[in-house]
Structure 1
Amino acid sequence: MNRKQMLKDLLVADPAVEAPPVELRPADAGGRRIPSGAVRAMGIDLSRLQDEAKRAEVLERESRNGQAVLEIDPASVDPSFAEDRIARTSDADYRRLVESMSASGQQVPILLRPHPEAAGRYQVAYGHRRLAAAAELSIAVRAIIRPLTDAELVIAQGKENAERRNLSFIERAMFAAELEARGFDRATLHAALAAHPAEMTRYLAVARAIPRWLVRAIGPAPRAGRPRWMAMAEFAAADGALDPVVGITETEDFRAAPSDTRFSMVYAALQCRSEAAAEPAAAVSPIRDGMSFIHIEELDSGTRFTILKSAPAGLSGYLLGRLRDLVTEFQAEQAAPKRPVE
């Protein structure tokens, strides 16, 4: 393509309009016209502009089709409306992700859609942790932008989680319950979690039995597994079963423990209460010496206290909740000056 046609393509909107003539030097001895230095430079610039215009067209087309990887300001991106992880940025895997992106950059792009309610903003389909890491590092996040319906967004969100980092059982259960609460049909739920109908029924049953505040307090508990979560759901369904658990979740020891340990603490309290409630009422006498419910065993490494199954319902949870206060009272008594014996 000659420069005249390039100039027409770039600068003339109407192809019927003739482009301005290009002044050339007189012909050389062989009859060829030799362009001046300025004209030659203009030809190079016109070629570069045309190449850039073509690249811009391709980029725009790929962006519309969800093929181009773009760099987006994390501040312009909002999370998905459906929460899938209980703790997105509080585990060791997230810290490793931040370190990896700091050293090597973001290797895998995230998926965004244009925000359906806020012009100029985006919404995450998947890649929340990479988005958070990019924001923490103050760098742009590499993303593919694709127009998605709500159903397409949650299906993409669920499939990416299944392929890259499996959610724990309780995270999948809570994700399913949130999608159901937002009105998605079972077909969408099955597609988003890649779950068969029987498994979906288990997810929803557990999510309904265990309150969200307790799930958030425990965390994802990746090692707990489906059978123990289902057993906990049965324990929690009994009237008043969660009363002793509240005190446990408010202790510093509970909050400082790993997620799987927090699960075990709650599970043990609920199991103890369930077993005590299943015993005949006559088996537990309200006038028994309180220490008869506790077994004390001296070990080489210390002293072990065991709450027996015959203990009144809620005793273990109450003692766990009071343990820190008792230790503080003991230390205060030890530190108090001793009165002389008269």
Structure 2
Amino acid sequence: MSKKLAAKASLIQLPPFRTPPAVAAAPAVDEQPRELPVSPTGGPSAASAPNPEARPKTAPGSMAVFMASQSAAVKEAEELKLKLRAFEGAVPMKALDPRRIRASRWANRHANALADKAFEELKADIASSGTNVQPVCVRALAVGADPSADYELVFGHRRHRACLELGIPVQAIIADIDDKGLFEAMERENRARKNLSAWEQGMMYRRALDNGLYPSQRKLAEAVGVDLSLISKSLALARLPDAVVEAFPSPLDVQFRWAQPLSEVLQRDPEGLVARAKELKASKVALNAKQVLDALLGQADKALNRSTSPAERRLGRAGQGAVLAADATGRMTLRFDPGVLTPTREAALIDWLNAQFGAD
């Protein structure tokens, strides 16, 4: 083995060794230039000649040096590739006018999700920082596609709305992405942050299927990486009649586990379900989401049992009226908003009640 290696190494022709020209260092201000020692033949003396021990003496040694230098170069190149790969496709952040950014047609946040306590906390955090630390993602619109906007949101609707209401620029990453990529990026980003409600998620999946973005529920589930049963439950809620959804205090209150019982009632008695929903909304009785569900399922007695909170009815505008509450025994309580029942109104109310009940 060693003889074959030596034979191959003997065929390698290395370029002749040349001594690099000496570069004399610039003398100091008070120092005279020094002359290099010269041999009698006119060349550099032995003292100034390169050290012959620095050169390989054999062909295998020369090859080893050559291969070592090549190996180091290849290793360095690979390390650089790995470092550059981390920045592949990266786009720098830009501060954009939030008024020139429009919501995507795949937008999945209900208006109520942009007015809750969590949103107010997010808005306050952005206000204290002076900007959104976590950027939103947008894609550029074609020139002239929308006179009112230059960009379309990919994700970050809550951060965009916060900056819009605060009147400050929004930090954004501009991506080159198609509709399917936009939809999947938005869905992943929402799950990584504040999860969508069951109804919001269902409406998002419904739009994707109705607009032909995916040919089936299975393909949609594979694309976004969620279980097919979750897609099915979400869609069942999103396809409920509008009257049924509007009977709840907010669509955000509807839960995944209610999809099956509501769907069963919708198939068995669609007219009755819609009629009960419209009656609930017209009554203006303040029920919680679970009570609404019980009433929609035809379990009105369960909706007002002792284990649930009392039914309430708002009289007048919030902060300027009162709330009439009924418990399971039928007892009624009238609670006035602070400042509404002035001394004059209180006296008039007492006189009216005395007149109604025959009190002195």
TM-score between both structures, scaled by the size of structure 1? 0.56
**Could you tell me whether the CA contact under 8 Å between 1:125 and 1:157 is conserved in 2?**
yes
Partner residue in 2 for 1:91: 116
Separation in structure 1 between the aligned mates of residue 357 and residue 255 of structure 2, nearest angstrom:
56
Residue 266 of structure 2 aligns with an amino acid whose one-letter code is: A
Identity over aligned pairs, percent: 22
Query: Which is greater in Rg?
Result: 2
**Could you tell me whether the CA contact under 8 Å between 2:122 and 2:162 is conserved in 1?**
yes
Residue 146 of structure 2 aligns with an amino acid whose one-letter code is: A
**Could you tell me whether the CA contact under 8 Å between 1:155 and 1:191 is conserved in 2?**
no
Distance 1:118 1:302, change over 3 A: closer
Residue 233 of structure 2 aligns with an amino acid whose one-letter code is: R
Residue 97 of structure 1 aligns with an amino acid whose one-letter code is: L
Tell me the CA shift for residue 166 of structure 1. 1.3
Partner residue in 2 for 1:204: 235
Distance 1:272 1:334, change over 3 A: farther
Distance 1:189 1:236, change over 3 A: same
1:314-337 deviation per Cα after TM superposition (whole angstroms, max 9, x unaligned): xxxxxxxxxxxxxxxxx9x95595
Q: Which has the higher helix share?
A: 1
Tell me the CA shift for residue 196 of structure 1. 2.7
Q: Which moved more, 1:225-234 or 1:88-97?
A: 225-234
Tell me the CA shift for residue 240 of structure 1. 2.2
Which one scores higher on RCO, CA 8 angstroms, separation ≥ 6? Answer: 1
**Could you tell me whether the CA contact under 8 Å between 1:115 and 1:121 is conserved in 2?**
yes
1:275-323 deviation per Cα after TM superposition (whole angstroms, max 9, x unaligned): 99xxxxxxxxxxxxxxxxx999xxxx985248xxxxxxxxxxxxxxxxx
Partner residue in 2 for 1:195: 226
Tell me the CA shift for residue 204 of structure 1. 2.3
Separation in structure 1 between the aligned mates of residue 137 and residue 305 of structure 2, nearest angstrom:
56
Partner residue in 2 for 1:280: none
Give unpaired runs (5+ residues) of structure 1.
1-63, 277-293, 307-330
* Counterpart pick for 2:259 among 229, 239, 247: 229
Tell me the CA shift for residue 217 of structure 1. 5.5
Give unpaired runs (5+ residues) of structure 2.
1-87, 307-324, 331-348
Distance 1:212 1:295, change over 3 A: closer
Matches within 5 A, 1:142-291: 142-185=171-214, 186=216, 189-190=220-221, 193-208=224-239, 210-212=240-242, 214-215=244-245, 218=248, 219-221=250-252, 225-237=255-267, 238=269, 239-254=271-286, 261=288, 263-272=289-298
Separation in structure 1 between the aligned mates of residue 183 and residue 136 of structure 2, nearest angstrom:
14
Residue 227 of structure 2 aligns with an amino acid whose one-letter code is: H
Separation in structure 2 between the aligned mates of residue 203 and residue 302 of structure 1, nearest angstrom:
34
Partner residue in 1 for 2:93: 69
**Could you tell me whether the CA contact under 8 Å between 1:114 and 1:147 is conserved in 2?**
yes
**Could you tell me whether the CA contact under 8 Å between 1:235 and 1:241 is conserved in 2?**
yes
Partner residue in 1 for 2:340: none
Q: What RMSD, in angstroms, separates the aligned Cα atoms of the two structures?
A: 3.6
